[in-house]
């Protein structure tokens, strides 16, 4: 499928002060968009000005929430070139989310090519200050204008680019986490493995209540036993127990994070012992009281690594590593950001330069 390029007639002003970018509030000049109609397949792929979508109020996305998305970043290297980090993995994961959500597949190679062309066209929107990046948001929605409660017949895939600030404007800070004893983010047999908007909608109430009580995020437990650790907010979670990297094994309730996979691969390469297995809250508290739990941190594209300073379960708090960033968290943060920004050796071939054309 050809990608038509319809350049914008009104180029927007780029943000002057990169220290005030924030996250996901500013969008570049162009977006990629392609449409799907049952019987016809994907068609009309184009890169065009970012503009509002025109959707009938009955469109199924508004009623039944058939929506999935991705999150990736493009980084500006010191030599001015722009590179992406494991972008093909995001494109493949979107296909898995689509299958789980009864949405049509879109060839990962095609997604990748479209996103690379989009970044190339808007390459001046990739910020250059330390820690900043161009956040990429591929999204698929259902657009059939009818209220029948079944999978839609029409879909739209689009990609937005948003210059975003450094996640850590004041340096990496350990966070306070409430272990969520009531709400569940996902359940066995559910949608937890898909990167779907509905999972986020289901999570906001618990997060808001945790914020109101002075916590930064929640640690989700499994929906069946309310016992085993799942994820921290919208990040995967890792523990360091007796020097071993321990993380929940992926089932259908946990989002298979690309940052998680990267940390595990780097850790294996560095000779760490790794365990992917169920971890109960009880085990965490026991490991803490016996002095074997040295660190815990979340992993995700936005923050890369987010160290946990405190867990609180049913009012009982434990402090990790003196509420300071641990050496393992720091090590993987430095390694990953080094590769992403092109300052460290990319021995696994995770980065690709955006070709100029
Ligand atoms: C996106 C996401 C993650 C992190 O995935 P990365 O590929 O590392 O960015 C973890 N958990 C949830 C629920 C997510 O949506």
Q: Is the CB of 300 under 6 A from ligand 1?
A: yes
Region 301-314: mean pLDDT is: 97
For ligand 1, atom 5, name the residue with the nearest CA: 257
CATH topology of domain 175-340: D-amino Acid Aminotransferase; Chain A, domain 2 (3.20.10)
CATH topology of domain 4-164: D-amino Acid Aminotransferase; Chain A, domain 1 (3.30.470)
Query: Residue 133: beta bridge partners?
Result: 164
Q: Is the CB of 235 under 6 A from ligand 1?
A: yes
Residue 204 pLDDT grade (very low, low, confident, very high; cuts 50, 70, 90): very high
Q: DSSP of 256-318, one letter per residue?
A: --HHHHHHHHHHHHTT--EEES--BHHHHHHHHHTT-EEEEEEEETTTEEEEEEEEEETTEEE
Q: Could you tell me the residue ranges of all domains in the chain?
A: 4-164, 175-340
DSSP 99: H
For ligand 1, atom 14, name the residue with the nearest CA: 234
Mutate to test the pocket of ligand 1, among 137, 164, 236, 251 (most ligand atoms within 8 A of CB): 236
35-49, 50-64, 102-116, 169-183: which range is least confident on average? 169-183
For ligand 1, atom 13, name the residue with the nearest CA: 234
Encode pLDDT of 144-191 as tens digits: 999 999 999 999 999 999 999 988 888 899 999 999 999 999 999 999
For the chain, the residue count is: 357
Encode pLDDT of 209-266 as tens digits: 999 999 999 999 999 999 999 999 999 999 999 999 999 999 999 999 999 999 999 9
Cα separation, 349 vs 346, whole angstroms: 6
At 211, list the tokens.
Answer: 């914020």
- Identify which of 139, 169, 168 has the alpha carbon closest to the alpha carbon of residue 155: 139
Cα separation, 302 vs 300, whole angstroms: 6
């Amino acid at each position: 499928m050809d990608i038509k390029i319809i350049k914008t007639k009104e180029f927007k002003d780029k943000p002057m002060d990169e220290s005030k970018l924030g996250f996901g509030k500013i969008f570049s000049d162009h977006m990629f968009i392609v449409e799907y109609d049952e019987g016809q397949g994907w068609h009309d792929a184009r890169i065009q000005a970012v503009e509002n979508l025109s959707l009938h109020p009955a469109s199924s996305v508004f009623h039944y929430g058939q929506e999935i998305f991705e999150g990736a970043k493009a980084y500006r290297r010191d030599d001015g070139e722009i590179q992406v980090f494991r972008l093909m993995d995001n494109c493949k994961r979107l296909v898995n989310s689509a299958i789980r959500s009864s949405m049509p597949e879109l060839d990962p190679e095609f997604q990748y090519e479209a996103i690379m062309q989009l970044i190339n066209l808007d390459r001046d929107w990739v910020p250059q200050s330390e820690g900043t990046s161009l956040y990429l948001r591929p999204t698929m929605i259902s657009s059939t204008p009818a209220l029948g409660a079944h999978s839609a017949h029409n879909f739209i895939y689009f990609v937005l680019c948003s210059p975003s600030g450094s996640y850590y404007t004041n340096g990496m800070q350990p966070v306070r986490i409430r272990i969520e004893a009531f709400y569940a983010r996902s359940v066995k047999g559910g949608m937890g493995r898909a990167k779907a908007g509905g999972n986020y909608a289901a999570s906001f109430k618990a997060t808001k209540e945790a914020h109101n009580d002075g916590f930064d995020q929640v640690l989700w437990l499994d929906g069946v036993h309310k016992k085993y650790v799942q994820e921290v907010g919208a990040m995967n979670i890792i523990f360091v127990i007796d020097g071993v990297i321990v993380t929940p094994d992926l089932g259908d309730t946990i989002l298979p994070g690309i940052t998680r996979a990267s940390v595990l691969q780097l850790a294996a390469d560095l000779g760490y012992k790794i365990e992917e297995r169920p971890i109960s809250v009880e085990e965490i508290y026991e490991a803490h009281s016996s002095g074997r739990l040295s660190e815990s941190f979340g992993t995700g594209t936005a923050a890369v690594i987010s160290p946990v300073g405190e867990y609180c379960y049913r009012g009982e708090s434990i402090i990790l590593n003196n509420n300071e960033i641990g050496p393992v968290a720091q090590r993987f943060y430095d390694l990953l950001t080094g590769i992403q920004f092109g300052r460290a050796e990319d021995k696994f071939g995770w980065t690709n330069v955006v070709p100029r054309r």
